[in-house]
Structure 1
């Protein structure tokens, strides 16, 4: 009889020891918007225990009490590892190839190679345009169009400066961009002005509007969740004359 009691006590002790060596972790696996990801897997990091997430995105898994971290995986998503905790564990997974599209309204100042005869400084005007594209996790792309209205814009619309390029994430809130494209360079010189209009009332005169290359450089900022802003400079040149576009804009990320 004593032997039976001894064996029973040993069994109960072993069961209690086993119960103390494991724990139950529970929680949910969702996307970045909080939608459940049924079929995802949760596994003990560097362990053999794993489970499949239910239709409502929740899971429950018995693991070693000494487990420090658990990992969630789902097709097309980046895996996520969290430290094990007593409360609910929520794994928020992001797409492997995440990108955000944006559209900005842009305006700025243009400095042209045309001179005011009396002040001897380059002429300036303004520009309007649009900038749009996508911001990837690391790399992205964009297109920018800038118009410089002229005095007869209604009958002779200005040819836009068009640039296409790439974006590179620098910080979580900032992407650098660079690109190349096509535009028109406008310019005049004092000598041409002097012989074409000596003593007249016109202070400057454009004498060229040539095909040119455009080079772009700037940064795009992410402000909160759906607001974007950009600042930059575009250099338009036919390698004889040059125009500089200093621009800034604001828009929406979706």
Structure 2
């Protein structure tokens, strides 16, 4: 009889544990870890830890130097691991969920800083144990690697090499007031679309802009020109400055569109 009571007590404890166990926290609506409108290809290597994916750009733009964006809001923590992840950021989204971003060329957030979805946290690079620029990306729940989901859709089954599957980002799109553009060269910044006094520099690569305004013409010896100027935050110099749309990598004369082809709104 005593043994039966022990068994019954044990079963009751198990049932109670099942009934009163804390519920699993739903995952955030994760988005791709790179700017709006860009298309990247991804792969998974069997030697990778957890269920990581590696992303490289496949739409003609450069992978190295492209902004790395937070997949969801949270608190960002920055680390360095010489023989492995290199410069990397962990974003704690709460409820047990975290995302990891490895091999960054640089950080753009402070350790312990709150970030919003679509906010830049670093630039794509190849630091640590890496053979080329890419974003090593992970989603973890309570420390366990999860099958990666973007906008609620699983990316499984994972491809074993690049250029089998592709993903176009909608992270940081127009609804957040930023438009992502590629520039082919360092662009001089100015305080207004008509000013000739340089105030700083926007580095070549992928950058965000807010809006456009008509201003003085920028023209080269080959006859390429643009009158549109784009409001942005410079890499060197003050925020809220202007660069010529002449430096956009695509679209043409007197056009000002983002990487997704959307017309940048007038300020």
> TM > 0.5 between the two?
no
In proportion to residue count, which structure has more strand?
1
| Structure with more contact order per residue of length (Cα contacts < 8 Å, sep ≥ 6) | 2
- The TM tier, using the shorter chain, reads under 0.3
Greater radius of gyration (CA): 1
- TM-score, length-normalised on structure 2? 0.26
